[in-house]
Structure 1
Amino acid sequence: MTTVSSSHRKSQPWTRNELILAINLYCKIPFGTIHIRNPKLIELATLLGRTPGSVSYKLANFASIDPTLDRKGAAHTSKLDRDVWTEFFNNWEEMAYESESQMAALKKEPLHDADGNDIYPENHVGDDALRLVKTRVNQQFFRHMILSTYDNRCCITGLSVPDLLVASHIVPWAQDKKNRLNPSNGLCLNALHDKAFDRHLISLSDDFKVMVSPRLKEYREVTDDAGYRFLMESEGKEIRLPRRFLPDVGLVRRHRGLSSDPYR
């Protein structure tokens, strides 16, 4: 692990590359854990040669910029803070991959995909292969970001078994390149509700209550198993909303519009 002396770096201005890594961390830890005792924050501080207090304060600065937060953090942001934040949030695909690559290089570790498999970009030759690498790394970033945003719980049922949780896209990955990694296009769902959401058997209302499609209700005539009841019991239930990165209502409406059976 490469580090820089904190006594040398702590008073130095933050660089663009350091800010990218700080935004990466901001996106991947639960909002309530932005404090100097967080092991992930301490790790980044060590890698950058800065104090945990310095990193914590920088994350609080980002909270003051974050438009999805009602409660704002520290207000002493620099122009570079705001510029890098805008760059990151306007170009999720490139910036997520750049920040993940920089973090891996600092740690002298390989990149990882969403299943935890090691990825070595240098072993993948050609544009198509490198695009696949970027996709796999970015999907890992999206999963970490969405699960942490929802405190590692299904937003419908509260289930908190990591292996059964999915970072679901509201508008599918293939249908909206701009919003593929936008956290407001994500929900943390258990595997069954994720599949039902993906197949448009359930959706959300504008006030974030679960809607059940007429198509799913038709199955009442032929099945009454536990899985079906589990889905049906969700109807009308308001999801657990995160403290930041709230679902985008426009994207929720698009999801409902993609159903072959209009929700009523």
Structure 2
Amino acid sequence: MTTGTRWTKEQLKLAFNLYCQLPFGKLHKGNKEIIELAGLIGRTPSALAMKLCNIASLDPAITSSGRKGLSGASDLDREVWDEFNADWDRLALECAHIHEQLRVEKGLPEAKESVDDGLGDIDDFTGETKRVITEQRIRQSFFRRAVLSSYRGCCCMSGLSDSRLLIASHIVPWSKDKENRLNPRNGLCLSALHDKAFDRGLISLDDDFRVILSKDLEQRNEPFVQEFFHPLAGQAITLPERFVPDKAFLARHRDVVFVGHV
């Protein structure tokens, strides 16, 4: 047990990784994920929960809303914060590696990713293919959990809260911006329907986070479109409690993906 000793950089990376994937209201010692990680890194659940609240004090999305987190963040906390924000992809993979190493050291079974990517059991693959698929699942899991937790598990346009029908949608497509493919500020929590419409450029958002419909959708008079899309025009989305969409990403979506009013 390392209670009373300084936090290592590896411990802080795992703490920040978890912070990104939990709703702000669940940063408490009774959370089972906090309890599990605390045991893995040799900290008490109370100490880890306190560290997560220290991290929250560095989060502009939290402090700008009037919430303060918990003061006392260290220089190393800030360093890890800056590292994550500079390279989400590397840190997500690094944290997964650290996490798995600790599990092996403690004789625990391998952690399983819950992302459904249609590829079946990872044990069906070997060598380089297996590594690539494993890393892909780590990335997908991190991004999905970070985005959905920030939006409190609800579609920001429709309010749908069934996780089976929710997508962590990229504003700038995954393939178009490697540096920001895991950046939660490049994500929206959308229903499968609205995700598809956003991905195909039939809807977008302006800089005030209001929904814009394409000319095609505006002119369609089918009852379904009138019920599920027309009421969205000009309506502001429900903003996340953290990781508010970057307006630069929204501008790129409007310029590159959105079919607009042509």
Contact 1:113/1:119 (8 A) holds in 2: no
Q: 1:34 aligns with which of 7, 27, 37?
A: 27
1:17 and 2:38 equivalent? no
Q: Render the CA deviation track for 1:226-251: whole Å, top value 9, x for unaligned.
A: 25531222112211111111111111
Moved more, 32-41 or 16-25: 32-41
Contact 1:211/1:263 (8 A) holds in 2: no
Partner of residue 81, structure 1? 77
Deviation of 1:120 after TM superposition, in Å, equals 6.3
1:212 and 2:213 equivalent? yes
The letter of the residue matching 1:90 is A
Contact 2:167/2:189 (8 A) holds in 1: yes
Contact 1:100/1:111 (8 A) holds in 2: no
Q: Render the CA deviation track for 1:31-50: whole Å, top value 9, x for unaligned.
A: 11111222211221122221
TM score, norm. by length of structure 2: 0.88
What is the distance in 2 between the residues matched to 1:103 and 1:40?
13
Deviation of 1:181 after TM superposition, in Å, equals 0.5
Question: Counterpart of 2:30 in 1: which secondary structure?
Answer: coil
What is the distance in 1 between the residues matched to 2:248 and 2:53?
28
Deviation of 1:130 after TM superposition, in Å, equals 3.1
Q: Render the CA deviation track for 1:200-219: whole Å, top value 9, x for unaligned.
A: 10011111111101122233
1:195-206 correspondence runs (5 A): 195-206=196-207
Partner of residue 193, structure 1? 194
The number of residue pairs the alignment matches comes to 252
Contact 2:171/2:249 (8 A) holds in 1: yes
Q: Render the CA deviation track for 1:21-70: whole Å, top value 9, x for unaligned.
A: 10111011101111122221122112222112111111111111123331
Contact 1:150/1:242 (8 A) holds in 2: yes
TM score, norm. by length of structure 1: 0.87
Question: Counterpart of 1:68 in 2: which secondary structure?
Answer: helix
What is the distance in 1 between the residues matched to 2:21 and 2:238?
18
Aligned-pair identity (%): 45
Moved more, 171-180 or 29-38: 29-38
Partner of residue 241, structure 2? 243
Q: 1:45 aligns with which of 38, 41, 44?
A: 38
Deviation of 1:101 after TM superposition, in Å, equals 2.8
Deviation of 1:133 after TM superposition, in Å, equals 2.9
The letter of the residue matching 2:238 is R
1:176 and 2:177 equivalent? yes
What is the distance in 1 between the residues matched to 2:38 and 2:121?
24
The letter of the residue matching 1:139 is Q
Moved more, 229-238 or 186-195: 229-238
What is the distance in 2 between the residues matched to 1:196 and 1:202?
6
1:92 and 2:88 equivalent? yes
Partner of residue 48, structure 2? 55
The letter of the residue matching 1:154 is C
Contact 2:200/2:258 (8 A) holds in 1: no
In structure 2, the CA distance between the partners of 1:260 and 1:33, relative to structure 1 (3 Å rule), is: closer
Poorly superposed stretches of 4+, deviation over 6 Å: none
What is the distance in 1 between the residues matched to 2:257 and 2:91?
32
Contact 1:111/1:118 (8 A) holds in 2: no
Contact 1:112/1:118 (8 A) holds in 2: no
Moved more, 28-37 or 68-77: 68-77
Partner of residue 3, structure 1? none
In structure 2, the CA distance between the partners of 1:160 and 1:179, relative to structure 1 (3 Å rule), is: same
What is the distance in 2 between the residues matched to 1:25 and 1:195?
29
What is the distance in 1 between the residues matched to 2:189 and 2:261?
22
Deviation of 1:75 after TM superposition, in Å, equals 2.6
What is the distance in 1 between the residues matched to 2:177 and 2:238?
25
